[in-house]
Structure 1
Amino acid sequence: MALKLETINIPHLPASLPVHVALYRNVQNSAFLRQQLLAGNSEFEYALIDASMVLSRAHALAAVFRAVNDYMNNRLKSRNVHSEIVFSFNPTNNIAESFRKFGIADSTKDLLVVKVSVTPEITHDSVAAHLESSIEGTSVPFDDLTLSEISDITKIKKLYKLGALPSPAAKADPSQPNGTHTDDAQRQLELSMLGAIALRGS
């Protein structure tokens, strides 16, 4: 199956810092990938995120924006922009907790991979080639529909302390007018999470 690697220019960030994003399901070598991170292998300098903790594209890109913006302004609190992306998902300032809750674990099956072009040699093609040779999993589209099948809403709400908000349903409830409640619940949850990312430590 062809790799679905998306290269994104995030609004309000320089075009010289594109972000490469790939989403995988049924990953078989998470323990190996995590070991490369722990060993500091520069070839595996990615943000490797447990995709079950990602609600939507907007949620992921908000964390990426926060990290890249902090990188540009010399405000990193972790080793590099990629570890900062994982940290940026966390609503608290606890770096170790960020990696425990959002980072790749040996048992991770659904994985979001992010790479920022911090040097000119990091291109769509170079990232694609490395990912294709390094990750044993099924590449799937990085979109809200796919993420909705992966997201662990209960865990996400608990971590962001949003238990009082309604949970988005997997499908629209036909007993509700036009099924709009599902989209409303999703949007309400998303906005609360984006606010938590933006406000952390400010």
Structure 2
Amino acid sequence: MAKVRTINLPHYTAYPVHICMFKDVKNAAFLRKQLLEANPEFDYAFLDPTMILTPQHILSATLLSLHLHLTSRAKTRTPHSELVFRLHPNNNIGESYRKFGISDDSDRIIAVKLSLTPEITNESVGQHLGSVVEGESVDVGEGVENVGMWCDVEKVKKVYKLDSNGGKGREGGTAVNGNAPTNERKEMEAVMSGVITLKGS
């Protein structure tokens, strides 16, 4: 059974969010094929963890995708595909999946599942992902703090068009080995959350 962390989003406590992380994944191509075929049993947001900066980064997009789904304003078929779409700063759905979704050779994955029906629980998500993902389940952390630990900061900066200090158009030094100091991540997080919010307005 996979390790699952369940959290409640503000204003939407009736729809818990379940988050799992995996490393050494061997069957990403199979998982991606299920998504492409719209297999309802695999209705998850399978994300490339190198593109997720912080817990707030992923939760901002999750909250927005749930809100748009519940208010019938989503641009994609499910709230999980909407989550992937909302992470990208532009409006190209295919590009969103290429940048933030998994690829056939992904060896690390973040999986997000929304409890849109009562039968979707922490246990049911853990059992299902544990049986279909060929990889090692990783502890997400009490406050999902581990969600950003595999981030490639330079890749994220490139997609969001951030300068080397995390802001837009500011001078500064460069990050080392894809890692960023906490204060830089906070600055980047603030800009990215704003971009996600503006895209959804």
Asked whether the equivalents of residues 93 and 201 of structure 1 are also in contact (C-alpha less than 8 Å), the reply is no
Q: 1:14-93, aligned counterparts within 5 Å?
A: 15-93=13-91
Q: Cα distance, 1:147 vs. partner? A: 4.2
Could you tell me how far apart the structure 2 residues matched to 1:107 and 1:163 are? 29
Asked whether the equivalents of residues 164 and 175 of structure 2 are also in contact (C-alpha less than 8 Å), the reply is no
Counterpart for residue 175 of structure 1: none
Asked whether the equivalents of residues 44 and 112 of structure 2 are also in contact (C-alpha less than 8 Å), the reply is yes
Counterpart for residue 152 of structure 1: 152
Q: One-letter code of the match for 2:131?
A: S
Could you tell me how far apart the structure 2 residues matched to 1:18 and 1:201 are? 21
**What is the TM-score with the length of structure 1 in the denominator?**
0.88
Asked whether the equivalents of residues 65 and 79 of structure 2 are also in contact (C-alpha less than 8 Å), the reply is yes
Q: Cα distance, 1:149 vs. partner? A: 3.7
> Residue 103 of structure 2: which of 102, 105, 108 is its match?
105
Counterpart for residue 187 of structure 2: 188
SS of 1:22 mapped into structure 2: strand
Q: Structure 1 residues 75 and 158, CA, compared in 2 at 3 Å: closer, same or farther? A: same
State percent identity of aligned pairs.
Answer: 42
Q: Cα distance, 1:123 vs. partner? A: 1.3
Could you tell me how far apart the structure 1 residues matched to 2:183 and 2:6 are? 29
Could you tell me how far apart the structure 1 residues matched to 2:178 and 2:92 are? 35
Asked whether the equivalents of residues 168 and 183 of structure 1 are also in contact (C-alpha less than 8 Å), the reply is no
Q: Structure 1 residues 149 and 18, CA, compared in 2 at 3 Å: closer, same or farther? A: closer
Q: Cα distance, 1:61 vs. partner? A: 0.6
Counterpart for residue 178 of structure 1: none
SS of 1:18 mapped into structure 2: strand
State the aligned residue count: 192
Could you tell me how far apart the structure 2 residues matched to 1:10 and 1:34 are? 27
Q: Structure 1 residues 171 and 81, CA, compared in 2 at 3 Å: closer, same or farther? A: closer
Larger deviation, residues 116-125 vs 142-151? 142-151
Q: Structure 1 residues 171 and 118, CA, compared in 2 at 3 Å: closer, same or farther? A: closer
Q: Cα distance, 1:11 vs. partner? A: 1.3
| RMSD between superposed Cα atoms in Å | 2.1
SS of 1:21 mapped into structure 2: strand
- CA deviations 1:71-111 (Å, max 9, x no partner) are 11111100111100111101111111111111111011111
Could you tell me how far apart the structure 2 residues matched to 1:66 and 1:141 are? 25
**What is the TM-score with the length of structure 2 in the denominator?**
0.88
Structure 2 runs not aligned, ≥5 long: 167-173
Counterpart for residue 7 of structure 1: 6
SS of 2:103 mapped into structure 1: coil
